[in-house]
Amino acid sequence: MPRRGPFVALISAYVVSVTGTSMSAIAIPWLVLTTTGSAAQTGVVVFAQLLPYVATQLLAGPVVDRLGLRRSFVWGNAAAAAAIAVIPLCHALDVLTLPVLIGLVVVVGVCRGVADCANGPLVPVTAEAGGIPLERAAGVNAGANRTALLLGAPLAGVLVAMFGSPAVVAIDAGTFAAAAVIATIWIRVPEPTPVPGLGVRRYLRDLGEGLRFVRGHRLILGMMTMVAVTNLLDQGLAEVMLPVWIRDEVGTPAVLGLISGVAGGAAVLGSLLGAWLGPRLPRWSVFSVSYVISGVPRFAVLALSDSLPLILAVWFVSEVFSGTLNPIMSAVMYERIPPDLRARVLGVARSTAWLGLPFGALAGGYLTEAWGLYPALWVFGGAYFVTTLAPFVFPSWRRLNDRPPVADDGRVDGEDSGSRSTRPARPEPPSRRE
């Protein structure tokens, strides 16, 4: 296999898995919304899947380090495939009650948490093995995510309208299984040798090491805090408010897929532009301006207009700017985290960034039912705008423009002493940068 084969295989598995996930992200909330008519219960189901997913991201890092990245990725996807396949089976047997569905999505959330905790560190590992610059790898990975959303969301809308939500969930199970197979066969790269054993003390020590690293890096901590808040607001919009708006104004899930597909296509374009122009443009300017444009207009247009073409246009522009964000944040973290800490630190970073996700759908659902859709849109949109002002207010965000090397002691030059790893970083392979 060519040197870049493992990276290509990882991206392929990621596209397949996220395509299925984006389909179920439409199918499962729509299933609950159409069968119960309750925005609150829809939010509860989304909450039940996301909370264990986020918790697993935080807690699974030391376990992934011991088991190995590839093995954790394969096992996590395979277990998720088995768990989510039970949902359409229970629906066919007419035993899919709300408690049963909640229990199943909890299992899926845990399994996906383990798989994604391994996926993040596999990106720089496979990129380094293939001699791919980290900023370019981050852009390709972000573009793959957006491409999967582009494929999965409109396809889900059409398939849900034609065949129903359970069929789409069954397809999702197949995508997780396919991702596990791809990783098993084609992702073979050198990994850090796992340290034998994982007692409680060692686990807590390793977990604390990742937490201390994030806490000691003000820039990384600031990024994750900001993303946590905006993800909460985005989740309430995407999982509750937008479906409710479509149900009330349009009445067909195909429009939900159309909007999501337009957003995915625009974000792919933004990711590609970010990967291409990223090395040429100052990160702080691109990140700060893009964050403002990517958020507030989407809430405002739903609150002010019922014109579908206008809504599609606003979503497109917002998501083009949104697509530039993840390549910048990923490159910043890959540059600053020692290789032997990546699973733990990226797990902590991801869980921190996603901390608000379980509560976003929950808050969005109850706020929509209590106050109505349009007041809820204005509240969430206003909170989004205030949050995106952080890079303009706090000086530490200017360090986005820095590209510091990782020192031999595992510390980023110029960072706080609290960010120091207790073990030295492994030497980087010569192919890390071209």
Q: What is the pLDDT of residue 201?
A: 81
Structure tokens at 292: 């403002």
Residues 6+ apart with CB under 8 A from 101: 28, 32, 45, 87, 90
Structure tokens at 346: 């990226």
- Total Cβ atoms within 10 A of residue 433: 14
Question: Can you state the angle between helices 98-129 and 5-36, rounded to 10 degrees?
Answer: 160
- Give the integer Cα–Cα distance in Å for 12 and 434: 23
Structure tokens at 174: 């197949």
Residue type, 54: V
- Give the integer Cα–Cα distance in Å for 7 and 13: 10
Q: How far apart are the first and last CA of the chain?
A: 21
- What residue has token string 């391994």? 118
Structural domains of the chain sorted by starting position, each given as residue range(s) with its CATH number in brackets: 5-187+203-420 (1.20.1250.20)
In this predicted model, what pLDDT tens digit does every residue of 132-191 receive, in sequence order? 877 778 888 888 877 787 777 778 888 888 888 888 889 889 999 999 999 999 888 876
Cβ proximity of 399 and 311 under 8 Å: no
Element (H, E) at 14: helix 5-36
- Give the integer Cα–Cα distance in Å for 148 and 18: 6
- Work out the angle at residue 344's Cα, subtended by the Cα atoms of residues 338 and 345, and round it to the nearest 5 degrees: 60
Q: What is the pLDDT of residue 107?
A: 94
Q: What is the pLDDT of residue 311?
A: 92
Q: Which of 77, 57, 59, 46 is nearest to 224 (CA)?
A: 57
Name the 3-class secondary structure at 406: strand
Helix (DSSP H) and strand (DSSP E) numbers for the chain: 18, 0
Ranges of the chain with pLDDT below 50: 1-2, 406-434
- Give the integer Cα–Cα distance in Å for 336 and 216: 12
In this predicted model, what pLDDT tens digit does every residue of 7-65 receive, in sequence order? 999 999 999 988 888 788 788 888 788 777 777 788 888 888 878 887 888 888 888 88
Q: For residue 406, report the phi and psi dihedrals to the nearest 5 degrees.
A: -85, 125
Q: For residue 412, report the phi and psi dihedrals to the nearest 5 degrees.
A: -75, 130
Q: Which of 263, 276, 321 is nearest to 145 (CA)?
A: 263
- Residue 414's Cα: distance from chain center in Å? 29
- Residue 288's Cα: distance from chain center in Å? 20
Structure tokens at 302: 């739903």
Residue type, 286: V
In angstroms, what is the C-alpha Rg of the chain? 21
Q: What are the residue ranges of helices labelled H in 37-97?
A: 39-59, 61-67, 69-92
Largest CA distance in the chain: 60
Please tell me what DSSP assigns to residue 418.
G
Q: Which of 156, 54, 145, 67 is nearest to 106 (CA)?
A: 54
Burial of 201 (0-12, 13-18, 19+ CB in 10 A): exposed
